[in-house]
């Protein structure tokens, strides 16, 4: 497993890896079964390199605040950020709701509160996990418009620090990873603060890490 100091290092490394070694897969170039660590999760800003991503921390923070609200309607994101990005409009159902608001996922069954309580009561727990991906809802057709990219998030206290693992079925490096790692690192920091310990290592696993061809064509 490759270790990175920060998210920016991971982003630029895997940008080059995908462009050089990625497999043609549908409308993307992809790497499969990718796993890496970020040693300083709160160093979560993506910087422009030779290939300009033009990542906006202001928007990533708005997305995080939207998650914290527990409201999965894109109207709430618009209220926070001032507008709703087209990608969310495309993913929303006829009522403006999405499944990929991870805050809604962890709040609706009080999963986040339960995780914090577990970690406080038993620092050695292996059960402090948040499930995002709901198989029953897939079978019921509830993911028709928007299937969450993340399966689960798990927390472990090791040597007095809170480690976190994010497991994803699919991860778009260009748009998804940049904002996802920002929000998940903020979640790691929130849980560590509630438990009263330091933030540890961020582990990121993606079965399919990719760049879309229409992005590659612009690089």
Do residues 92 and 145 touch, judged by C-beta distance below 8 A? yes
Confidence (pTM): 0.95
Catalytic residues: 149
CA distance 208 to 168: 8
pLDDT of residue 49: 63
CA distance 164 to 204: 9
- The residue written with tokens 């994010």 in the block is 166
H or E element that contains 167: strand 161-168
Q: Give the ranges where the chain is alpha helix by DSSP (H).
A: 7-21, 57-69, 74-81, 86-91, 102-108, 111-121, 135-139, 178-195, 213-216
Nearest CA to 185 out of 168, 171, 164 is that of: 164
Do residues 143 and 137 touch, judged by C-beta distance below 8 A? yes
Do residues 115 and 191 touch, judged by C-beta distance below 8 A? yes
The neighbour count for residue 164, using CB atoms within 10 Å, is 25
pLDDT tens per residue across all 219 residues of the chain: 999 999 999 999 999 999 999 999 999 999 999 999 999 999 999 987 656 678 899 999 999 999 999 999 999 999 999 999 999 999 999 999 999 999 999 998 899 999 999 999 999 999 999 999 877 777 776 777 789 999 999 999 999 999 999 999 999 999 999 999 999 999 999 999 999 999 999 999 999 999 999 999 988
pLDDT of residue 177: 97
199 forms bridges with which residues in the sheet?
A: 162
pLDDT of residue 52: 63
Q: What are phi and psi of 152, to 5 degrees?
A: -160, 160
Domains of the chain: residue spans and CATH: 2-46+55-216 (3.30.572.10)
């Amino acid at each position: 497993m490759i270790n990175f100091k920060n998210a920016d290092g991971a982003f630029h490394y895997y940008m080059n890896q995908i462009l050089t070694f990625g497999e043609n897969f549908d409308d993307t170039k992809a790497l499969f079964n990718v796993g890496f660590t970020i040693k300083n999760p709160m160093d979560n800003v993506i910087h422009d390199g030779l290939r300009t991503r033009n990542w906006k921390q202001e928007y990533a923070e708005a997305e995080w605040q939207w998650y914290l609200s527990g409201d999965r309607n894109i109207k709430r994101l618009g209220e926070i950020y001032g507008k709703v990005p087209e990608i969310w409009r495309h993913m929303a159902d006829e009522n403006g709701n999405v499944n990929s608001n991870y805050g809604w996922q962890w709040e609706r069954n009080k999963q986040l509160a339960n995780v914090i309580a577990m970690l406080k009561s038993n620092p050695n727990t292996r059960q402090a996990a948040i499930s995002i991906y709901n198989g029953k809802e897939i079978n019921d057709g509830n993911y028709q418009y928007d299937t969450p990219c993340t399966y689960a998030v798990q927390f472990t206290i090791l040597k007095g620090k809170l480690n976190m693992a994010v497991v994803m079925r699919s991860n778009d490096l260009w748009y998804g990873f940049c904002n996802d790692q920002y929000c998940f690192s903020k979640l790691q920091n929130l849980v560590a603060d509630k438990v009263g310990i330091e933030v540890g290592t961020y582990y990121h696993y993606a079965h399919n890490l990719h760049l879309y061809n229409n992005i590659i064509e612009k690089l």
